[in-house]
Amino acid sequence: MPLARLLVLASLLASGLAAAAPVVQVPEGGRSVEVLTQGVICGPVRNGWSLGPDGRSVHPPAKPDESARTQDLKVADTAAQCATTERIVTVIATGPLPRIDASGTSFYPDEGRLELRGVGLLNVGIAWSGQPRGEPERPPMEGQDICLSPSKPKGLADCAVPVPQGLPTDTSLYWIPPYGRIGPEVRTYDAYGNLVDPETLRVRPGRTILTEPLVLSNGIDVSKGPGSVPVSHSEAIATTDCGIARCEPDEGFISVRNVPGVDASITLRARLVPRVFFSRGDVLDQVITTTLSVLACPLSSVEGSVLRGAENSALVVRLDPVCAHDPRTLVWTVNGIRVRVERVVKLAEGTYVMLRTAGTSDQQVTITALTSRQDGTVVASETTKTLPLPVPRASLDLPGHGAIDFIPTNRPAEVHMASNAGLGRFVLEPLPGAYSVTTRESATLIQGEAAPGAFVALRFGYRLPTLPAELATTDLVSVDERFQRVVREASVPARIEKLVEFVCADAEGKDQQLEPSRPHRIPYAMRNTCRVIVHRERLKPEEGNQEVLLRINVTKPDGSGRGESNVEQRMFLRPQGDQRDIPVPGNLGQYDRITVQVSHVADESRYALSTTDRTGLPSAQWTAIVTGGLFRLYTTAAIPAGLYRATEPTGQLAINFGVVSRLALLNNEGQERLLGIEAGLMGLGLVPQSGDIQFPPTLAVVLGLGLRVPIGPGAAVGAQAWMAYEFRGDIRRRTGGDPSLDPVVPSSKWSFIFGPSISVGNVGFNL
């Protein structure tokens, strides 16, 4: 590498270290690592990360979410400076570090891929940096990509990582931990907390395999001095031999001197550097031999126009202005097969000739111009590598609604090209009877013409904008997409509020449209006027057919459902249909809650749903409550497990049962308040007690306050405080045979009792 380049790279690294915030990355579930050698981490530390007791180290989460892997932490020299510090340290929880088998790793710079072999390759990144040969003015080719699909989920596996085509063979390659980063500001630790040497991240492929021709020409013009032969990878050439001529590898070409005569041919032998091979099918060579002809008329192919794997394709060559021949009078061949001249454009820089061929599958072609078949004098010749036919990949987008995977018939869709066509570009061609193509400003629009349900492959013309204007609008080849798209109507989910209304009458009997997502109250007298109106007439043809699900649920104040009032209908709505009214069935009661839900059926085969913005299909919900009384009077069965008699003689009354009437205040939703007035008959002390005081089982009239907490429909737990009048006999004391004790305990029929209870039932009415 030249000294100047080393100095530039060193300065870039130094500036990156000075400007970038430090980054610390450690595998998920690994040990704690030190973020700072001195100072403190200000925090906060979230998402599974934990701060070490020293305040300078962190422990990564064991299984972080994708959004929790990276965290920016404020750091300062002291804890007192945390409020004002602007220093940031980024910590990353990477995936487990892989084990790369360098001997089994192959680098294909011409095809743009690196075939990794190792363990734990999923989501492992590959970074590259290489200087294009022969183009010192261009910046280094840098970038990174990741391994998405290893051959096996576990164990030793292979994975192909795409890299740019045209990288030099000595490109610097580095692996990056899953979800991690690379750079001079990044410190990487292993799972045991050991710092990883950045040099150990370097990938040194066991084999670098060239698949495109190394020598890019089969001819050389030495009429005006030393000649040169362009090569694709001069850095991969160790030595060259040209027989009696002298040739030397240089940056981007091989210089040729001392050629004996302009009609001579030169046999070039190039030996590649170790671990670099040239692929000829299944054979790998390190010595490449080619014969170079001395050409009298310079000829060059236009970059990007010579394609392989394309039938009935055209290529464009340029003859030097010194060439005086009329291209139309010459015999043109491609790999020995005659081709026809389609167009000729003469400019100051040369003559452009478009040749229409039957296509080729070879990786390189020889283009030759002869004076005639009989004479066989070669006027010009050029050997050039062919480029694989780019694959057109187009995406369709409904403006304002996202991407779709079909061709709509009721509205135009915008076409976006997503293929890597190199220097060329694809232009969508109309296909009569299948679809039409229009342009609006800079957008290309497509609309289907075929019958719904048909399948059509989009057809594109490949053009080269770098050609002269007369040729830039000519299709070099027509290419169909490799898959077909269905032609059908585009249904765009319409707003529910536009299609559906929920209407109930007010106190005066006038219909009012209720707004969704807001609570409403309906007068009790108008409880049976509610209905759902479906406005099919508002649906526009460009919105397509709609499929919605209507649910009407009615629940009683206790939370139980009113089955006869529930509705669930799946409706298919066509544009410009009739209005439809759907009443809420059943006879509603006080404080019944009406819930109306309308949503689109999530059917990707029907709707044009965006693949990037999945915020949910439009839906709407209406809620209304039937008004009712302020109080509720009802009867319930109470089962106090144990009541305490506070009046002398005091004691516990076990196992009690009775019927209580309760008057409670209701809230706005018909639910009773916790405290209420209670009165009723209660059987007390139904099970004899084991103490000295014997309370006889008795029937009592109770009156007082009760606290109830509902636990289900008609059931509640609570606590009561009652005044009771007891219909009983005498309360007695166990004397144990002592004649001095009176067995009858003096007591009043009135008593105060309190305790917890369980109540079941709610039979009554609202006031």
pLDDT digits (tens, 9 = 90+) for 586-637: 888 888 899 999 988 877 666 766 554 545 677 899 999 988 888 888 899 9
- For the stretch 211-257, pLDDT in tens is 988 888 877 764 343 567 888 888 899 999 988 777 888 888 888 76
Q: 385 with 363: CB under 8 angstroms?
A: yes
Q: 417 with 390: CB under 8 angstroms?
A: no
Cβ neighbors of 322 (< 8 A, separation 6 or more) are 297, 298
The conformation of residue 422, written as its DSSP 8-state character, comes to T
Give the Cα separation of 80 and 57 in Å (integer): 18
- N-terminal to C-terminal alpha carbon distance within the chain: 97
The conformation of residue 371, written as its DSSP 8-state character, comes to S
Mean pLDDT of 628-653: 87
- For the stretch 687-723, pLDDT in tens is 877 677 888 889 999 999 999 988 877 889 999 999 9
Mean pLDDT of 142-159: 91
Give the Cα separation of 736 and 744 in Å (integer): 13
Answering whether pTM is above 0.75, one says no
- For the stretch 64-106, pLDDT in tens is 887 788 988 999 988 888 888 889 999 999 999 999 998 999 9
Give the Cα separation of 684 and 722 in Å (integer): 12
294 DSSP β-pair partners: 220
Which run of H or E residues covers position 744?
Answer: strand 744-745
pLDDT bracket for residue 206 (50, 70, 90): very high
Nearest to 72 by CA among 56, 90, 48, 49: 90
The conformation of residue 4, written as its DSSP 8-state character, comes to H
Position 319 pLDDT exceeds 50: yes
Position 2 pLDDT exceeds 50: no
Task: Quote the distance between the C-alpha of residue 291 and its chain's center.
Answer: 53
Cβ neighbors of 114 (< 8 A, separation 6 or more) are 105, 106, 107, 108, 126, 160, 161, 163, 173, 203, 205
- For the stretch 473-515, pLDDT in tens is 899 999 888 888 889 888 888 888 888 999 999 888 898 998 9
Q: 549 with 524: CB under 8 angstroms?
A: no
Give the Cα separation of 386 and 515 in Å (integer): 66
- CA-CA distances (angstroms) from residue 181 to 24, 310, 710? 9, 41, 57
Position 55 pLDDT exceeds 90: no
Return the exposure string of 548-578: e unless at least 16 CB atoms fall within 10 Å of the residue's CB, then b: bebebbbbbbeeeebeebbbeeebebebeee
